[in-house]
């Protein structure tokens, strides 16, 4: 038998979480308040019913595993750190992921901003830029989630420009980094301009955004009346050429 102890997990949830939030953050990649909010959002999921470990313990193990990459993310290392069995690590991770992916959980932590939140975002934009840019109160960008290895199906499509196998993730948020929409699941080789079309905001922008409101984006995204991106270099050069003739 392998000697195991739950001391590390108890130290994380009972000491670091209360007295050293920066250390707690380094283990689970979120603040104590965010952790508690996530526990509240998923604790009533049917996957946690029955004689099980507390939801906070299961979430801590899953986040610790998801927050590491390479050898430190192996089930053996996570199990020894948490003082649980190898199969229990898989079980905890599955419970958490199933609960997070449920529609009730998503609705409880992510909702379309109300008028107060929208006004706060617009005020921030005006204060940090100019009054003319105030209607742009949302921002979109993409990031790549590294995968452990090449997927078995259509492996080459997951190979991204950074020479990794990854998944494309699109995030739409307010200036204070409150996420209001996301799209995940497309291969890392997918361009942001295409992955952006899978978001709820893109597909329903006519209903969600009022006249004059827009989403800020970078050069990877198409320029639209409701999606403002910087002008491409060749457009700017073309403009300068013909305005100085």
Considering the domain architecture, whether residues 100 and 117 belong to the same structural domain is answered as: no
Tell me whether residue 242 is in a domain: no
Considering the domain architecture, whether residues 42 and 117 belong to the same structural domain is answered as: no
244 has pLDDT over 70: no
Least confident stretch, 43-47, 101-105, 195-199, 227-231: 101-105
Tell me whether residue 196 is in a domain: yes
Closest CA to 32 of 18, 14, 15: 18
Q: What is the pTM of this model?
A: 0.71
pLDDT of residue 178: 86
Considering the domain architecture, whether residues 90 and 127 belong to the same structural domain is answered as: no
Considering the domain architecture, whether residues 79 and 155 belong to the same structural domain is answered as: no
State how far the Cα of 95 lies from the Cα of 33, in Å rounded to an integer. Answer: 21
20 has pLDDT over 90: yes
Number of neighbours of residue 82 by Cβ within 10 angstroms: 25
List pLDDT tens digits, range 123-161. Answer: 999 999 888 899 999 999 999 998 878 998 888 999 998
pLDDT of residue 237: 54
Domain end among 86, 106, 126: 106
Domain end among 106, 141, 157: 106
Tell me whether residue 157 is in a domain: yes
Domain end among 43, 71, 106: 106
Tell me whether residue 168 is in a domain: yes
Q: Could you tell me the residue range of the domain that residue 16 belongs to? A: 6-106
Considering the domain architecture, whether residues 128 and 222 belong to the same structural domain is answered as: yes
**Which segments of the chain are extended strands (E)?**
136-146, 166-173, 179-187, 214-216, 227-228
8 A C-beta contact, residue 184 and residue 154: no
List pLDDT tens digits, range 34-65. Answer: 999 999 989 988 888 877 899 999 999 999 99
Considering the domain architecture, whether residues 102 and 195 belong to the same structural domain is answered as: no
List pLDDT tens digits, range 2-15. Answer: 888 899 999 999 99
Considering the domain architecture, whether residues 40 and 64 belong to the same structural domain is answered as: yes
Considering the domain architecture, whether residues 161 and 188 belong to the same structural domain is answered as: yes
State how far the Cα of 119 lies from the Cα of 131, in Å rounded to an integer. Answer: 13
26 has pLDDT over 80: yes
Categorize the per-residue pLDDT at 97 as very low, low, confident or very high, splitting at 50, 70 and 90: very high
Number of neighbours of residue 46 by Cβ within 10 angstroms: 9
Tell me whether residue 240 is in a domain: no
What's the total number of domains in the chain? 2
What is the rounded average pLDDT of the residues 87-110? 86
pLDDT of residue 52: 82
List pLDDT tens digits, range 173-223. Answer: 998 888 999 888 899 999 999 999 999 999 999 999 999 999 999 988 988
23 has pLDDT over 80: yes
């Amino acid at each position: 038998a392998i000697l195991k102890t739950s001391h590390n997990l108890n130290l994380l949830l009972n000491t670091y979480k209360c007295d050293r939030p920066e250390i707690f953050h380094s283990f689970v990649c979120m603040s104590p308040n965010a952790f508690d909010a996530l526990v509240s959002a998923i604790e009533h999921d049917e996957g946690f019913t029955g004689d099980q470990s507390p939801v906070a313990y299961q979430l801590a193990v899953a986040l610790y595993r998801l927050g590491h990459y390479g050898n430190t993310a192996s089930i053996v290392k996570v199990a020894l750190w948490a003082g649980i069995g190898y199969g229990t690590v898989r079980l905890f991770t599955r419970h958490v992921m199933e609960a997070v992916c449920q529609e009730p959980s998503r609705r409880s932590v992510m909702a379309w901003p109300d008028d107060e939140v929208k006004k706060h975002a617009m005020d921030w934009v005006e204060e940090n830029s100019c009054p003319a840019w105030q209607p742009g109160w949302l921002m979109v960008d993409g990031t790549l989630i590294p995968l452990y290895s090449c997927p078995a199906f259509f492996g080459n499509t997951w190979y991204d420009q950074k020479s990794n196998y990854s998944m494309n993730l699109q995030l739409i948020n307010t200036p204070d980094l409150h996420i209001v929409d996301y799209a995940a699941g497309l291969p890392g080789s997918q361009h942001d301009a295409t992955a952006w079309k899978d978001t709820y905001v893109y597909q329903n922008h006519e209903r969600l955004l009022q006249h004059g409101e827009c989403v800020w984006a970078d050069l990877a995204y198409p320029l639209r009346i409701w999606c403002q991106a910087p002008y491409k270099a060749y457009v700017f050069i073309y403009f300068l050429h013909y305005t100085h003739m």
